Structure 1
Amino acid sequence: MTNLQPADGRFTVGVSRDFLDADGRNVWGDIRLGELDAAGIDWHYLPRDTGELLAPDVDGLDAVLFAAPAVTARTFAGLARPPLLFARFGVGYDSVDLDACTRHGALVTITPDGARRPVATAALTLLLAVLHNVTAKDRLVREGRWSEREQWMGLGLTGRRVGLLGLGNTARDLVVLLRPFEAEVLAYDPYCPPETARELGVRLADADTVMAEADAVIVMCVLTEETRHLVDARRLSLMKPSAVLLNVARGPIVDETALIEALRADRIRGAGLDVFETEPPDPGNPLLSMDNVVLAPHSLAWTDEMSAGNGGSAVRAIVDVATGRLPRFVVNRDVLGHAYLAERLGALARHGRAEVGT
């Protein structure tokens, strides 16, 4: 029978080392790791910074709190007692092999409650920056081109249409933030209940309609095989010449080559990107030299609010599991019937973790 408990009875968490800078300081600030201490849970930073978590990195751990590293089949290779939880700091999980985690009885959680408002705020920030030509106007001042300012008239939001590709929790927060601007909002999301959209005052439509009718299209959906290149050359051709495209989700949802061609040909007005198909983008990427594009290094939502929110959400998932409870925001729901998971959670619940920290 599988050994359900660590030898010393303590629940142990490894935190991926990409949270630390070269001087060993947490670049995210307070991510609520103190709450693990308060719960009597042992934790430590992993000894090496790696792009992929391998079996030696996680051997002996009950849970892993991670940001950037990939979780793959090799993470579990040869482990007799895999971690029970991989708590992702953030909402994206395209770097996680969910099938491998499920096969080995490991939960994968994300932190939508911590990220939703910061990402929604970032989307609004990017939208306003693009509509007001902030990057170009900043350059005019820095380069002494004040007299050219008349060429960069911006666009207001009042009475215009904002189209959302995805109407999940973050996009719903953005709808609330957009209300004072008196813009009409339409959205494509085949999984959103119609009553939810009605309550928000959002008109649901197919993807082509959103692309064709919106003055600003904002990509806010999860990257899956279904959404990869959802915004392709054909859909870009449907957009108004005066419209702009923004992506605060994942780079591969937009066909970047097609977007560059649309911008070069003035088929759309501009773009705002916090994400790219390849990150970081190649120094020769044409997007980097375009005046009508506002760019950010996949970090526009990074604020103290997001650090605390994501960290708190991930830590709550860890504490739940350490006490034998199922956490919220489990991505791989198929794992819930796995015998290994059931046995270990049951053992943790029976012990009540009374011995943790003793």
Structure 2
Amino acid sequence: MPASSPFRIGLTRDFLKPDGTIGFGDIGLSLFDTAPNVTWEFLADHSPILTPQQIAGFDGLLVLAPQVTAATLVGNDRLSLIARFGVGYDNVDVPACTAAGVMLTITPDGVRRPVAVSAITLLLALSHKLLIKDRLTRTGRWAEKLNHMGQGVKGRTLGVLGVGNIGREIFQLAAPFEMRHLGYDPFLKTSVAGVELVSFETILQESDYLIVSCALTPETHHLLNADRLALMKSNAYLINVARGPIIDQLALTDALAEQRIAGAGLDVFAVEPIANDDPLLALDNVILSPHGICWTDECFQGIGRSACQSLIDVAAGRTPTNLVNRDVLNSPRLRSLYESRVPR
């Protein structure tokens, strides 16, 4: 595509509310309006899996929830970048993108602080039994508060599965609580100040608060199964702000119902939305959030501006930051697309 031709960006329609307005506030779309030779629009329709027809004619995509599969990219002749609105990319077939010469970017800089704050929010709410006390107050059971003593965090052990972008931020935010910090991350190559890197079994056995902050991959699917949950303390709390399938949800439900662990804070689930008759909903030792506890103006502005900047960088012939599939830079097709964008 000649550099003089506009770089066309398509946004998936799930950014829109039923009334046609954007449901996430300011996500940085004004950056497109000031970028030279860039146009943008919403895809014509919504589907859970993007089709070749939907993405035809676009050079870049800003994608929220729809899946991008190998079939999506069949016959693609213009697309060079999929900018995922968020840090998870389990809805995108990365090898298929690489094979098709399409880059994939994510937005770790936008979600780092908001997701870490969310994890700490759940930790404190669980430690103080906040929702239980809220229900006591609303139902006139004031006298029962002595039956629901909270658990202080000073001197307790905080464990984090996945000591990456968000995991490190969690430890930083928790520093004033004077907790012992344990981390487990088989891919970590260097030490982290103030964090003891331990084995998987050790972090399960010794954590009073265990936060899941790793990516969902074939290796981490049901990483926390029944046998591994059985290693946790009976007074421990489990918090998941990553992806639901990392935990065997049925095994966790049993552990919570039988009080083999003290409680859980879950922002993600095996299937979303969670079914109305799911037994998790009947338990009073779990705090549930609809995969949106980190949804704040700060979060969406950070995510949006990061994703939009990636698209602008590619439109200008620059390599974007936060590129997931760096091997794609060796693609002859992608190099040809880049060369066509650079003014001569």
The TM-score normalised by the length of structure 1 is 0.94
Structure 1 position 231 matched with structure 2 position 224: yes
State the 4+ residue runs in structure 1 displaced beyond 3 angstroms.
none
In the TM superposition, 1:1-358 aligns within 5 A as 4-5=1-2, 9-40=5-36, 41-79=38-76, 81-195=77-191, 197=192, 199=193, 201-351=194-344
The letter of the residue matching 1:297 is: P
Distance in 1 of aligned mates of 2:2 and 2:82 = 17
The Cα shift of 1:53 comes to 1.0
Distance in 1 between residues matched to 2:41 and 2:169, nearest whole Å:
34
Is the 8 Å Cα contact of residues 161 and 215 (structure 1) preserved in structure 2? yes
Q: Distance in 1 between matches of 2:152 and 2:190?
A: 29
Residue 346 of structure 1 and its aligned partner are, at CA, apart by 2.0
How big is the shift at 1:82?
3.8
Instruction: Mark the runs of 5 or more structure 1 residues left unpaired by the alignment.
Output: 352-358
Q: Structure 2: state its 5+ residue gaps.
A: none
1:350 shift after superposition: 3.5
Cα-to-partner distance string for 1:239-295 (whole Å, 9 max, x where unaligned): 110101010000000011110111121110000000000111111111111111001
1:194–1:204 CA contact under 8 A, matched in 2 = no
Deviation at 1:347, TM superposition (A): 2.1
User: 1:228-249 deviations in whole A, cap 9, x for unaligned?
Assistant: 1111111111111010101000
C-alpha distance after superposition, 1:50-102 (max 9, x if no partner): 211111111000000011111011211233x1411000000000010111111
Distance in structure 1 (CA, Å) of the matches to 2:213 and 2:296: 19
Report the Cα distance in structure 1 between the residues aligned to 2:80 and 2:23, rounded to whole angstroms.
26
SS in 1 for 2:44: coil
Question: Offset of 1:147 from its aligned partner?
Answer: 1.6
SS in 2 for 1:193: coil
**CA–CA distance in structure 1, aligned partners of residues 59 and 39 of structure 2:** 10
Shift of 1:133: 1.1
* AA partner of residue 250 (structure 2): T
For 1:194, what is the secondary structure of its paired residue?
coil
Distance of 1:260 and 1:324 partners within structure 2: 50
CA distance in 1, matches of 2:238, 2:31: 40
* AA of the residue aligned to 2:247: V
Report the CA distance between 1:5 and its aligned residue: 3.4
Counting matched residue pairs gives 343
Kept after mapping to 2: 8 A contact 1:82/1:106: no
